[in-house]
């Protein structure tokens, strides 16, 4: 199986017939038909259902279409990167970032990285940690940046990813401004906590809060996608939420107070797929992240 066969197969499915695919490819029909027939022989499975109304993929054909399209996209990305390298541009880097870490260290990392490697094209995708992990595992992302320490990784994450712990993220408790002077020893009695939904890959804040307050009869949980999402609800007086100074300190109607002692600082961590080649571009991002993290840690300790 080669890329040319995949291209012809994809073109036939998209066109609905071999003849139309040949026209779209600006070819005669026989070479397209022969390429598809050869592909079916090589794979030992029928890929197309041929009817009077055209062709449709079999179950095997649907599988090949889905995965073959991904391979073609990756081929094009590699070819484009090599072309850029030939023009003295190093290439591109795809980074998945959880919104919290954008505020805490990624923005600074990106600025420094682009100063050092101005020819690199960086694509940032902001997403929840589980989506970032899926992207790293599938190869759609080169690197992920998440607000979890390695000891919070589920076993299956540790099996497929390498990582570098970058920086401490100090946690505060965001509360409605009209409640900022209330006293709640041990975090009990606040009522509703607004928390990111639990993520099996990264057990963290939801589990910590519900475990620590298991005997608090006032505890109620409102689940949201990210810590940032919680802040407007806090401002509306709906509850309290673990947050950071950079996320919440300038939000009208929100005050930041010290969290209970059991709500510890978080860690910003960079992850990448263990069996993936760590390219020079990736290594540069990791090195810059480490330097930014070390400077931030020095500021914490000052």
Q: 19-53: per-residue pLDDT in tens?
A: 888 888 888 888 888 888 888 888 888 888 888 77
Specify the higher pLDDT residue, 73 or 265: 265
Closest CA to 123 of 146, 151, 94, 143: 94
Look up the CATH number of domain 171-264: 3.40.190
Q: 184-215: per-residue pLDDT in tens?
A: 999 999 999 999 998 887 878 899 999 999 99
Taking 60 as the threshold, does the pLDDT of residue 89 lie above it?
Answer: no
Residue 88's pLDDT band (cuts 50, 70, 90) = very low
Q: 247-300: per-residue pLDDT in tens?
A: 998 899 999 999 999 999 988 999 999 988 888 888 889 989 999 998 887 766
Q: 106-146: per-residue pLDDT in tens?
A: 999 999 888 877 788 899 999 988 899 999 998 999 999 99
Measured distance CA(76)–CA(11) in Å, rounded: 16
Look up the CATH number of domain 3-85: 1.10.10.10
May I ask the CATH architecture of the domain 91-169+267-301? 3-Layer(aba) Sandwich (3.40)
Residue 180's pLDDT band (cuts 50, 70, 90) = very high
Average pLDDT, the chain: 87
Domain ranges of the chain: 3-85, 91-169+267-301, 171-264
Does 171-264 match 91-169+267-301 at the fold level? yes
């Amino acid at each position: 199986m080669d890329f040319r066969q995949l291209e012809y197969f994809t073109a036939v499915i998209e066109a609905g017939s071999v003849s139309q695919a040949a026209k779209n490819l600006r070819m005669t029909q026989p070479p397209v038909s022969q390429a598809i027939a050869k592909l079916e022989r090589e794979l030992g499975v029928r890929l197309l259902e041929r009817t009077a109304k055209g062709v449709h993929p079999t179950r095997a054909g649907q599988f090949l279409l889905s995965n073959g399209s991904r391979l073609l996209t990756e081929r094009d990305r590699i070819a484009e990167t090599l072309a850029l390298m030939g023009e003295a541009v190093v290439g591109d880097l795809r980074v998945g970032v959880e919104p919290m870490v954008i505020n805490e260290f990624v923005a600074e990392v990106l600025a420094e990285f682009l100063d050092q490697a101005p020819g690199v094209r960086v694509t940032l995708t902001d997403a929840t940690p589980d989506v970032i992990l899926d992207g790293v595992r599938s190869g759609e992302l080169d690197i992920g940046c998440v607000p979890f320490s390695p000891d919070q990784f589920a076993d299956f994450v540790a099996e497929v990813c390498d990582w570098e712990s970058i920086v401490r993220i100090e946690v505060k408790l965001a509360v409605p401004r009209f409640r900022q002077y209330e006293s709640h020893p041990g975090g009990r009695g606040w009522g509703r906590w607004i928390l990111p939904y639990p993520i099996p890959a990264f057990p963290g804040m939801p589990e910590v809060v519900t475990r620590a307050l298991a005997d608090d009869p006032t505890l109620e949980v409102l689940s949201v996608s990210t810590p940032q999402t919680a802040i407007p609800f806090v401002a509306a007086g709906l509850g309290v939420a673990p947050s950071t100074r950079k996320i919440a300190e300038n939000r009208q109607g929100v005050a930041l107070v010290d969290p209970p002692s059991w709500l510890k600082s978080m860690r910003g961590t960079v992850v990448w797929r263990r069996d993936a080649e760590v390219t020079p571009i990736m290594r540069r991002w990791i090195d810059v992240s480490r330097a930014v993290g070390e400077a931030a840690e020095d500021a914490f300790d000052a």
